[in-house]
């Protein structure tokens, strides 16, 4: 099996022994490697069964690779168990042993080519020259050959935790397909520990686009909470790959950390500007409209000082259009005047408001 690395765990340097094991009803014996007392059973299972596919009774084809497996191990996984029980499988003819090999290890085949079984065994024999092959096709690009093989190693009691930690998202994708909840939970815990703004967009997109059950929903909540706390300080550059609906949900949230509403407006303007700088064929026009709506309707302009409102009103996009609608600015100023009228203001300040309104109305 490709890309599955051996890691031998024998407790001694003694070589494993071999024994001639004959089944009842056969006239000769077959040489079968069995673990010695000093050889780790776990190592034997990994090397002889998983790596070499000895005595395999199930074949799974995936990633253009044939995996010779054993139903007793892969049946620990419900998805693979259902696969071998209910999915039609093609019988694959295996190479017949040569006459020389038969003389050396004539073994367990009778004249019909069927393995002889003893009275203590179930009569579930099959032609020894056939292996039943099942095909797995993965459409998720995050399910890689390496992550799939690491999941198989789990089923054979040989988890490679060091390798799994290097690809947590790939492990979650493969484990989610195979329904391996323990692997999902362990990998999600690792992703949480390594959350950063540099990886957040990719990680968030991963969970938004997949149904990983309740752990996935909790992970999305964790990531959104993280960006609510740290998103503004990280700057708009790290938001380029963030899904627009998530941006609207996060930046429009009153818990999104910004020093004040002016900085919230400036931050949204920068997000729009970065997306408008893209080539026309790469622009997400619908996403830009959603961000403009966020800028005009989710920022509390009443909390912005009058000089800053004048500054915001002057900002223009690459097409020369104002980022903020004139009505939005006017409404904020009217609300500010109404509020200021309730407290004492100087005559000079009233004149400033009045002259600015006359100028806006004539634009």
Tokens of 86: 């209910």
Q: If pLDDT is split at 50, 70 and 90, which confidence band does 63 have?
A: very high
- Res 106: pLDDT: 41
- Res 302: pLDDT: 86
pTM (2 d.p.): 0.66
Whether the pLDDT of residue 306 is over 50: the answer is yes
Q: Is 175 exposed, middle or buried (0-12, 13-18, 19+ CB in 10 A)?
A: buried
Query: Is 306 in contact with 264 (CB distance < 8 Å)?
Result: no
Question: Helices 168-178 and 145-155, interaxial angle, to 10°?
Answer: 60
Percent of the chain with pLDDT over 90: 42
Report which listed range, 5-19, 123-137, 288-302, 332-346, is most confident: 288-302
Q: Give the range among 4-13, 292-301, 351-360 with minimum mean pLDDT.
A: 4-13
- The mean pLDDT of the chain is 77
Query: Is 260 in contact with 244 (CB distance < 8 Å)?
Result: no
Q: If pLDDT is split at 50, 70 and 90, which confidence band does 211 have?
A: very high
Q: If pLDDT is split at 50, 70 and 90, which confidence band does 345 have?
A: low
- Res 151: pLDDT: 94
Q: Give the range among 72-86, 137-151, 270-284 with minimum mean pLDDT.
A: 72-86
- Res 136: pLDDT: 87
Mean pLDDT of 38-57: 72
CA-CA distance, 50 to 55, in Å (whole number)?
10
Query: What phi and psi, each to the nearest 5 degrees, are found at residue 303?
Result: -90, 5
pLDDT one-digit tens code per residue, 132-154: 578 888 999 999 999 999 999 99
* Residue scoring higher pLDDT (82 or 26): 82
């Amino acid at each position: 099996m490709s890309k599955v690395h051996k890691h031998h765990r024998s407790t001694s340097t003694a070589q494993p022994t071999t024994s001639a094991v004959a089944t009842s009803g056969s006239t000769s014996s077959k040489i079968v490697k069995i673990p010695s007392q000093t050889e780790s059973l776990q190592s034997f299972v990994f090397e002889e069964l998983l790596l070499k596919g000895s005595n395999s009774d199930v074949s799974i084809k995936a990633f253009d690779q044939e995996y010779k497996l054993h139903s007793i191990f892969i049946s620990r996984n419900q998805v693979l168990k259902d696969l071998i029980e209910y999915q039609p499988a093609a019988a694959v003819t295996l190479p017949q042993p040569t006459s020389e090999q038969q003389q050396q290890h004539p073994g367990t085949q009778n004249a019909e080519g069927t393995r002889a079984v003893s009275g203590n065994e179930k009569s579930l024999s099959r032609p020894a020259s056939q292996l039943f092959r099942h095909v797995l096709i993965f459409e998720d690009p995050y399910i890689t050959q390496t992550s799939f093989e690491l999941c198989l190693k789990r089923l054979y009691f040989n988890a490679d935790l060091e390798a799994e930690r290097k690809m947590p998202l790939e492990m979650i994708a493969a484990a989610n397909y195979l329904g391996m909840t323990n692997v999902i939970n362990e990998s999600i815990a690792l992703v949480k520990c390594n959350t950063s703004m540099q990886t957040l967009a990719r990680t968030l997109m991963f969970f938004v686009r997949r149904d990983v059950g309740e752990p996935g929903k909790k992970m999305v909540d964790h990531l959104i909470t993280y960006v609510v706390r740290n998103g503004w300080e990280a700057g708009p550059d790290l938001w380029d790959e963030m899904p627009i609906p998530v941006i609207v949900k996060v930046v429009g949230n009153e818990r999104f950390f910004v020093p004040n509403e002016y900085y919230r407006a400036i931050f949204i303007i920068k997000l729009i500007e970065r997306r408008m700088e893209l080539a026309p064929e790469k622009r997400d026009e619908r996403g830009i409209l959603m961000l403009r709506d966020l800028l005009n309707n989710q920022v509390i302009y009443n909390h912005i000082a009058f000089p800053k409102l004048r500054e915001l009103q002057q900002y223009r996009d690459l097409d020369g259009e104002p980022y903020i609608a004139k009505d939005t600015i006017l409404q904020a100023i009217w609300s500010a005047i109404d509020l200021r009228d309730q407290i004492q203001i100087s005559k000079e300040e009233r004149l400033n408001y009045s002259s600015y309104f006359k100028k806006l109305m004539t634009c």
